[in-house]
Amino acid sequence: MAGIPSPEGLDKIIHERARLGVMASLAAGGEMTFNELKETLEMTDGNLSVHARTLEEAGYIKIKKRFVGRKPRTTMRLSAKGETAFRKYVDYLGRIVSP
């Protein structure tokens, strides 16, 4: 079993499928709007909002709300903490696949 990481090392916040999708999208796409994320991940408004809030509370993403003209626009991006956590999560999976 040497080399296989322990389950304690798994980041449970990222491990949830929808939140993993948000993290992976932001890792690849940089700053994305709420609608772009919704389209990419095929999620509902409510579902995305809930998971985005969880990630924001964990300090993994930064959410910015502003107005463009008269329309509200919400954008999200990974924080430095989020980038590190995502990289660690992917490394963790990699060590399970190739111990």
Partner 1 sequence: MDAKEAERHLATIRRIMESATQITVLPGWAAMIGGAMALAGCGVTYGLMKSMDFARLADLEPGRRIALISLWVGIAVVATGIDVVMTVRLARKKGKNPWSRLSQLAAFAMGPAIGAAFALSLALALRGTWDLIPAIWMLLYGLGVWMAGVLSVRAPGILGLVFMIAGVATLFWAGPIALLMVAVTFGLAHIVFGIHLIARFGD
18: contact with partner 1 by CB under 8 A: no
**Residue 22 Cβ vs partner 1, minimum distance, rounded to whole Å:** 9
For residue 92, give the nearest of 17, 1, 10 by alpha carbon. 10
Two tokens, residue 10: 């798994």
**Residue 85 Cβ vs partner 1, minimum distance, rounded to whole Å:** 13
> From the list 28, 46, 65, 70, which residue makes contact with partner 1 (rule: CB under 8 A)?
28
Q: From the centroid of its chain, how far is CA 51?
A: 9
58: contact with partner 1 by CB under 8 A: no
79: contact with partner 1 by CB under 8 A: no
**Residue 83 Cβ vs partner 1, minimum distance, rounded to whole Å:** 11
d(CA 64, CA 20): 20
d(CA 82, CA 97): 23
